[in-house]
Amino acid sequence: MNSRLTAAENKVTAITEELEAAKTEQQLLKKKVEEAERLITVQATELAALVSRVTTSEKEVQEQKKELTSHREELNVSKTELQFTKNKLDEIQGAVSASMKLAFSAGLTTSGKIGPFISETPLIYSRVFTNIGEGYNPVTGIFTAPVKGVYYFRFTAFNNKSGEWMAVNLYHNCKRILHNSELSSGHTTIANALILQLEQGGMVSMRLEKNCGLYDDTNSLNTFSGFLLYPL
């Protein structure tokens, strides 16, 4: 009887120990599960943060793509405007270059004797040799400056009648700037030149002094010439 009781007690003790061991193991397992759940929660939080950052980065990339597209469009517009400006500049430079090429030279006539007249008379140099820029008008005998600048002018005059005065005047607009005269000895030539600053539209012309004469023929003994030195 006692031996059976002891055996039963031993079994109870063993079962109790196993139960305690199971409880202990269960507690350890519970802690591991809780730790695993905590780690999972942390990782889930980190993953959510990472997803948020990735989403934000993707949005930023999309915004940057939009900005890049906008910049490209602006660049294309700027290129178009630049090309348009360059074309306009080329046109202006071409026009300026053309306006800077100004030169003329003309002979008076081939008809022989000119004058004398009872009043000062405009000299119309109708035999045009050169008229680059079309500044000289062979109908009026007047050079009109297409651009403001510094100009060089020169003239020659000839008279073959002995004892007759020859005299010419150079005018800037309505003001006489230069006068040259000589008593002809039969084959007399006078020549002179000067530099004038002209405004755009400024006019230069030659006139024959009253009671004076000239002579011209196909040899171009009387000439009027000028050219632009540089624009202002």
Residue range 86-105, pLDDT digits in tens? 777 666 555 555 557 999 99
Residue range 100-141, pLDDT digits in tens? 799 999 999 999 999 999 999 999 999 999 999 999 999 999
pTM: 0.61
Tokens standing for residue 39: 């780690």
CA dist., res. 183 & res. 74, Å (int) = 76
Residue range 167-199, pLDDT digits in tens? 999 999 999 999 999 999 989 999 999 999 999
CA dist., res. 65 & res. 193, Å (int) = 71
Residue range 134-169, pLDDT digits in tens? 999 999 999 999 999 999 999 999 999 999 999 999
Identify any residues that bridge with 183 across adjacent strands, giving them in sequence order.
165
Residues 113-145 as b/e (b if ≥16 CB within 10 A, e otherwise) read: ebbbeeebeebbbebeeebebebbbeeebbbbb
